[in-house]
Copies of this chain bind each other. A is one copy, B any other.
Amino acid sequence: MTEKKKLSRNKILKELYFQDSLSCADLSFKIDKSFPVTAKLLEDLLEHNLVVESGYAVSTGGRRPLIYTLQQDVMYLVSVAMDQYVTKIAIMDMQNNFVSPIEKIVLPLPDNPAALQVLIEKIQMVMDASGISKEKFVGVGIGMPGFVDVKKGVNYTFLQLPDNKSITRYIAGKIKVPVFIDNDSSLVALAELRFGAARESSNAMVINIAWGIGLGLILNGELFRGHEGFAGEFSHIPLFLNGKLCSCGKTGCLETETSLQLIVEKAREGVKAGRTSRLSSLKGDDLEQDCDAIIEAVKNGDQFAIELFSKAGYNIGKGVAVLIHLLNPKIIILSGRGSSAGQIWQAPIQQALNEHCIYRLYESTSVEISTLGNQAELFGAAALVMENYEHIPAIKIHPFSKHEEQVKVGE
């Protein structure tokens, strides 16, 4: 089979992963090949048991199309979602199911030279524990905070190797499976684009409400990364004149007025100061636990918790107003950990838009809460692998040599 045919074949598998079941006509359109060629490729895939016919679709006025689906149990993905403190590792099948328990490990990234080694060991461990044979793994997708260069496979903030060598190549060399990395917020956006609220929108802003406020931009139907891959630095746009020092060294960043970290801090302060609230029993040492507790309090109508979220929401809204002016998106999606607080975000954000946005611009922009919630990054990491799947055959790792070959992934 020629290299070109392989590309088309992989494109079919990729489309079937994202769409679950498609007809030959649909696939022909999506992979931009003629019907006869697509049919021939499908025939081959059926023979090799990678694809199965799964009945007929309902007729739309003519002959019913044969529907194709990915064969189960032949391909698996490893998805890894990291934040500054905790890392989750999961194994997923082609139908987007978790096939092993999600492994959650405490792995602080700042000032931790051992982090990369630990990560590799844990990934290896989860893969081994799954009992799935190595050749069935398509690849590993990893989402991580920091300035990530997707093409080079480098994170300039965490998990660095000497001379900024590619960590994707490094990890792939160890576990013998292709590896892809991306910024955490970008992967949340990718998840929303492929499986979530942005599915029908070619222009969407996905806000990743987490310890910081991340942003993934969906422009013209695809994830936008910018010149060096750093686009979406929403957290640090200079929007306030509050003089508050930010972690980045500047003042007035969006992050200084809104983030889950800030909410937890403020909640702890409030409790210490004797504020009446359901939150009075906050642990005060575990960020994740406290955050979950506050979100739970919001849902139970706790006034203090609601006040904190409303203020944070209003400030996110001020940032969203900027996004709407600059990029005229169809939809704003609130995703990531914080989105599990639900509809509480709507009112304050809408209020900020009323005050700071030109009506003509935001009247046709909707604000929605993600249904993927806390698991968005894991879905996104899996999607990242399949996003690159068509190029994977170009990756070759020598089984006996430690010297990695030139790897060309995407563009």
Contacts and interface: CB of A to CB of B under 8 A. Distances in A.
A224 B234 contact: no
A26 B403 CA distance: 11
Contacts of A360: 147, 156, 230
Interface residues of A, number: 60
Interface in A238-297: 238-239, 241, 248, 250, 252
Interface stretch (A40-48, A100-108, A159-167, A316-324): A316-324
B238 A328 contact: no
Contacts of A201: 227
Nearest to A231: B328
Nearest to A225: B328
Contact of A248 (B35, B250, B358): B358
A203 interface: yes
A25 B400 contact: yes
A233 B26 contact: no
A149 to B, nearest CB: 11
Copies in the complex: 2
B238 A318 contact: yes
Contacts of A365: 227
A398 B30 CA distance: 10
A85 interface: no
Contacts of A4: none
A238 B322 contact: yes
Contacts of A220: 219-220, 224, 411
Nearest to A204: B227
Nearest to A35: B400
Nearest to A62: B402
A322 B228 contact: no
A115 interface: no
A2 interface: no
Nearest to A402: B60
B224 A219 contact: yes
A129 interface: no
Nearest to A224: B219
A337 to B, nearest CB: 22
A234 B364 CA distance: 18
Given A60-B403, A250-B355, A326 B234 contact: yes
A200 to B, nearest CB: 12
A131 interface: no
A220 to B, nearest CB: 7
A327 B226 contact: yes
Given A60-B403, A219-B219, A227 B328 contact: yes
Interface in A297-337: 318, 321-323, 325-330
A327 B227 CA distance: 8
Given A220-B411, A227-B364, A328 B25 contact: no
A233 B29 contact: no
Shortest 8 CB-CB contacts between residues of A and residues of B: A226-B328, A25-B400, A227-B330, A238-B356, A233-B325, A231-B328, A230-B328, A203-B227
